Amino acid sequence: MTKKTEFQHILVGVDDSEDALLAFRYAIATAKQRHAALTIVSIREDSDVNVFQAMDKDYIHGERSELEKHINTYVQQAKDAGVEQVNAVVSEGKPAEVIVKDVIPHVKPDVLIIGSIAKKGLKRRVGSQAAYMAKYAPISVLVIR
């Protein structure tokens, strides 16, 4: 007998890309429909920082602070749409790895919803953040296009 999967805690990754915004809208609708908790995660990539910026603690703190303010706009959008329980997580590093290895074990969601832009040529073969998360996440992953 197969047990029906109930998603009561949704994790959605956002980065302002078109595909992430599609995933975010889908996550809001799903959380609202299922009366599920929604956690929104955004990861500041290490590669976005040059060596001089990395040495400047004020720069790093300022960048993270700006990201935290920005992710709060997503939290407010979800609340305005009717999602009752909304949280946010901000971290730094390689997004796919941080989400799989740090965020998921800490947040303990039932499902991860992410966007993925269809890539062509060499980029498709190299892999993507979405492919990494779908392969290594210990939970169900829904990729939105």
pLDDT reading at 126 higher than 50: no
User: Going by C-beta distance under 8 Å and a sequence separation of 6 or more, which residues neighbour residue 41?
Assistant: 11, 12, 13, 14, 88, 89, 90, 91, 99, 103, 107
Q: Is residue 93 part of a domain?
A: yes
- Alpha-carbon distance of 112 to 115, in angstroms, equals 10
Average pLDDT over residues 136-144: 96
Q: What is the pLDDT of residue 66?
A: 87
Range of the domain at 50: 9-144
Instruction: Decide if 89 contacts 39 (C-beta within 8 A).
Output: yes
Residue 2 lies in a domain: no
Helices (H), the chain: 18-34, 51-55, 57-80, 95-98, 104-107, 122-126, 129-136
Residue 108 lies in a domain: yes
If one compares 124 and 132, the residue with the highest pLDDT of the two is 132
How many structural domains are present in the chain? 1
**Is 97 a domain residue?**
yes
Q: What is the pTM of this model?
A: 0.83
User: Has residue 3 been placed in a domain?
Assistant: no
CATH of the domain at 71: 3.40.50.620
Residue 75 forms part of a structural domain: yes
- Does any domain span residue 140? yes
- Give the model's pLDDT for residue 111: 98
**Is residue 69 a part of any domain in this protein?**
yes
Q: Over the stretch 64-100, which tens digit does the pLDDT of each residue have?
A: 788 889 999 999 999 999 999 999 999 989 999 999 9
pLDDT digits (tens, 9 = 90+) for 18-73: 999 999 999 999 999 999 999 999 998 865 444 444 434 444 445 678 888 999 99
Q: Please give the order of strands across the beta sheet that includes 86-92.
A: 86-92, 37-44, 9-13, 111-115, 140-144
pLDDT band of residue 118 (cuts 50, 70, 90) is low
